[in-house]
């Protein structure tokens, strides 16, 4: 069976979005990325990202560093669950992530 790829944008505000990429096989997520971006003074910036590319689950907090931070959930939970968990995490915390990013920009 072939893998299905889905890409879409989840608007949070007019200046905050989540870019979603999902790879699905047999109704299960096999790879994903969630990329929270914010428009600040007319320019779009990556603020936070979590993905399972490169064979492991990791996040990037761009207000700290672009370096990936490995997350342990991939070994414990199904990726579909992890995807939903981080979608909720970003929706609940994007304003705080944005504030942290804007502080570093100053």
Segment (H or E) for 44: strand 43-51
pTM, entire model: 0.91
pLDDT above 60: residue 1 = no
pLDDT above 80: residue 73 = no
Q: What is the average pLDDT value for the chain, to the nearest integer?
A: 92
Percent of the chain beyond pLDDT 70? 95
**Sole residue written with tokens 């971006």:** 37
Better-predicted residue by pLDDT, 99 or 56: 99
Helix boundaries (H) for the chain: 73-76, 79-105
Sign for the CA dihedral angle at 74, 77, 81, 85 comes to negative
Domain positions in the chain are: 4-105
């Amino acid at each position: 069976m072939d893998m299905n790829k889905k890409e879409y944008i989840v608007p949070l505000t007019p200046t905050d979005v989540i870019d979603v990429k999902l790879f699905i096989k047999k109704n299960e997520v096999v790879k994903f990325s969630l990329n929270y971006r914010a428009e600040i003074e007319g320019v779009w910036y990556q603020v936070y990202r979590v993905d399972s590319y490169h064979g492991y689950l990791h996040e990037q907090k761009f207000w700290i560093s672009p370096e990936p931070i490995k997350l342990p959930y991939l070994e414990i939970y199904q990726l579909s669950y992890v995807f939903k968990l981080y979608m909720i995490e970003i929706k609940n915390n994007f304003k705080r992530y944005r504030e942290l990013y804007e502080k570093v920009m100053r």
